[in-house]
Amino acid sequence: MLRFVVWVAGMVGIVLVALYLLAFDVWTVPSDDPFLAASLAPTLYAGDVVILSRHPSVARGDLLRCPDPQAAGRFVVARAIAGGGETVAFINEVPFVDGHHTPTALACPNVVVQDPSSGLDVQLACGVEEFGEMTFQVFQSATNPAPSTKTPRMVDPGAWFLVSDNRHFPVDSRVYGPIEPRLCQHVLVRVKGLDGVGVRLIW
């Protein structure tokens, strides 16, 4: 019996290692980058452990981790909302794709977050949006939004425009431009956070 249990455990271990090497990756949201951490709220927070797909096919609404175009060895994490040939504009921190925006009737409570630049507390409004198959919460300022960009920006063919879920403190394509998704990974599941182990689907 003991031999059988060891054999089963060994086979499960081999399968898990194969999945890790070929299909999935595990990553911890860094705690040394307050700007990235602020941009991920309310979906993820510093210290969260997530599972990523190594070879994603990108769909609208996917949360992606991509190499940072401005800092070698670092990553950016934001949501794919517009593909090649589509246009993106922001009005009061709300993105419009080809002139359309899809809010939902769902609600979530407003929050107080820390400004990563000044360390001061800032009150943000929480909303629920829908892009593609995804429904997710976002933060934005109701009283002091970032300047609107009413002139639409067209996304290059083969690229995706990424937008942070925290629209008031973004680290997204408004900063570094559209991204080619070839080296990106799809964030699938949060398995552990500062509040302990708790599996939560991102996709």
**pLDDT digit string, tens, across residues 131-153:** 888 889 999 998 888 888 778 89
Query: What pLDDT does residue 9 have?
Result: 47
pLDDT of 90 strictly over 90? yes
Q: From the centroid of its chain, how far is CA 110?
A: 20
Calpha distance 47→26 (Å, rounded): 12
Q: What b-and-e string marks burial along 144-171, b requiring 16 or more CB atoms within 10 Å of the CB?
A: ebeeeeeebbebeeebbbbbbbbbbbbb
- CB-CB contact of 202 with 50 (8 Å): yes
Which domains are assigned to the chain? 26-201 (2.10.109.10)
- Residue 87: helix, strand or coil by DSSP? strand
Q: Which pLDDT tens digit goes with each residue over 24-82?
A: 899 999 999 999 999 999 999 999 999 999 877 899 999 999 999 998 889 999 999 99
pLDDT of 115 strictly over 80? yes
**Contacts for 182 with CB less than 8 Å, ≥ 6 apart:** none
Query: What pLDDT does residue 87 have?
Result: 96
* Strand arrangement, sheet containing 111-114: 111-114, 121-131, 134-140
CA distances (Å), origin 66, targets 52, 71, 104: 11, 11, 28
Fill in the amino acid letter for 124: L
Query: What pLDDT does residue 3 have?
Result: 62
Name beta bridge partners: 196.
193
- Residue 181 phi, psi dihedral angles, 5° rounding: -80, 5
Q: Which pLDDT tens digit goes with each residue over 149-175?
A: 778 899 999 999 999 999 999 999 999
Question: What mean pLDDT is predicted for residues 177-188?
Answer: 93
Q: Model's pTM, two decimal places?
A: 0.84
**Contacts for 9 with CB less than 8 Å, ≥ 6 apart:** none
Q: Which of 16-25, 133-142, 185-194 has the lowest mean pLDDT?
A: 16-25
pLDDT of 184 strictly over 80? yes
pLDDT of 197 strictly over 80? no
